Structure 1
């Protein structure tokens, strides 16, 4: 059965698929809900696909607010009705001297990574243009509040809040596009989205300026799939949508949502 499933996904996603199958089996055997850490949209798609139309196991996702990108998954038996509290997601407010300094998403993420934290215990980092919050695994919140007091050179103070105190994130200025590509390789998608040459796209990857689902990648020939998110330093972000078909010249018609880095 697993081999039938594997063929629908990328080779490098096999460990993720196996981990989800383990959780599904655990729900079936123990008849209780099983919670994951935070998943990127691609992993959420895989989890949902594996559960499919099963009657005995279901899956729900929550990341703190309706449009969260990174969400925790809860696999559960059919008798169970999940609530927000079951996902154990809390926001931390990042207090800092707003009059004298500015924070940035990359700075904040780097600070938490340097504290030895895996990305999967962290949800979205959100801002309303001044205030900043990060959504985290509730079990780690108290530890983080006591551990982190600087972002770069800026002195900060973390405070645990309730979801009722979550700020309204700034909306991305995303542009919906349809790309006609010779392949769905990483370098091809980047080149098409930002209207640059394949060589330039490969150089960006070689220079370690590209992240796929929040992980640095160095292989330009990686296959990109629906729900993948690409971050390209100094260019912006690409959210990958569905393949809409094939053109008469055998080009792949790929829908993407592109956020371009604002020039300062």
Structure 2
């Protein structure tokens, strides 16, 4: 039975990459550290590596409850430590009395200095500070290049990883019905919008499924998918429970609090 049949077509390239990592560990008997993976990619790595006796697997994202994490595939003789994940944490200071910085601005500024999204982890917002987790190999570059966010001057101070405080995601469950599992129909049902509005959001590049931008209104959603709609928050398809007498799908959805 092929491992590919459990995954969407667009995930097959990533599966090939994971199979390569796995083979490298087996052949070279050495560990392989990945970039930051989103939760969907982490699930794929777990499925592909499975319970292989020659390849062990661990994840670390800098803090308990981190969403984005690096994976370490390693031979059984190794005992991985936090250092093996090569993470660095920083506090982003700025004059918070006078300005407010938003998550998308920090994200945009990090990408704007030429950093790939896979090179940094979660961004945490607290009352008077912003904390970010980076791959150690890009930390010196970021220290030098990241001097402002939006138009606001910022400074980076390194933090011990233990001082990163993550925010735990909790989901509020609700049930809904939908005529189909198409993305535009699902967004309309979950967020109580017209289907036309849902289509505009998808066309406007404001919708992600499992952390990837999706622009097809007819994209077929599946149980377990995480939908993120800019301006409306994040939700998760917890269960798709078969059909009602009126031929609609019964869906239990979790909305992020």
CA contact (8 A) 1:89 1:135 kept: yes
Return the offset for 1:158. 1.3
CA distance in 2, matches of 1:14, 1:234: 30
Q: Deviations over 1:4-54 (max 9, x none)?
A: 111110000011100000000111101111011011111111110111222
Judging changes above 3 Å, is the alpha-carbon distance between structure 1 residues 199 and 214 closer, same or farther for their aligned structure 2 residues?
same
* SS of 1:38 mapped into structure 2: strand
TM-score, structure 2 length as denominator? 0.90
**Do structure 1's residue 203 and structure 2's residue 200 form an aligned pair?**
yes
Return the offset for 1:123. 0.6
Judging changes above 3 Å, is the alpha-carbon distance between structure 1 residues 257 and 151 closer, same or farther for their aligned structure 2 residues?
same
Return the offset for 1:209. 1.6
Which residue of structure 1 aligns with residue 226 of structure 2? 229
Judging changes above 3 Å, is the alpha-carbon distance between structure 1 residues 232 and 15 closer, same or farther for their aligned structure 2 residues?
same
Judging changes above 3 Å, is the alpha-carbon distance between structure 1 residues 100 and 197 closer, same or farther for their aligned structure 2 residues?
same
**Do structure 1's residue 176 and structure 2's residue 182 form an aligned pair?**
no
Structure 2 gaps of 5+ residues are none
1:245 to 224, 228, 241: 241
Judging changes above 3 Å, is the alpha-carbon distance between structure 1 residues 88 and 124 closer, same or farther for their aligned structure 2 residues?
same
Deviates more, 1:176-185 or 1:73-82: 176-185
Judging changes above 3 Å, is the alpha-carbon distance between structure 1 residues 232 and 5 closer, same or farther for their aligned structure 2 residues?
same
Structure 1 gaps of 5+ residues are none
Which residue of structure 2 aligns with residue 50 of structure 1? 48
Judging changes above 3 Å, is the alpha-carbon distance between structure 1 residues 211 and 60 closer, same or farther for their aligned structure 2 residues?
same
CA distance in 1, matches of 2:37, 2:68: 5
Return the offset for 1:238. 2.0
CA contact (8 A) 1:38 1:120 kept: yes
Judging changes above 3 Å, is the alpha-carbon distance between structure 1 residues 130 and 195 closer, same or farther for their aligned structure 2 residues?
same
* SS of 1:106 mapped into structure 2: helix
CA distance in 1, matches of 2:175, 2:47: 24
**Do structure 1's residue 162 and structure 2's residue 136 form an aligned pair?**
no
TM-score, structure 1 length as denominator? 0.88
CA RMSD of aligned residues (A): 2.1
CA distance in 2, matches of 1:169, 1:10: 31
Which residue of structure 1 aligns with residue 109 of structure 2? 111
Deviates more, 1:66-75 or 1:171-180: 171-180
Which residue of structure 2 aligns with residue 127 of structure 1? 125
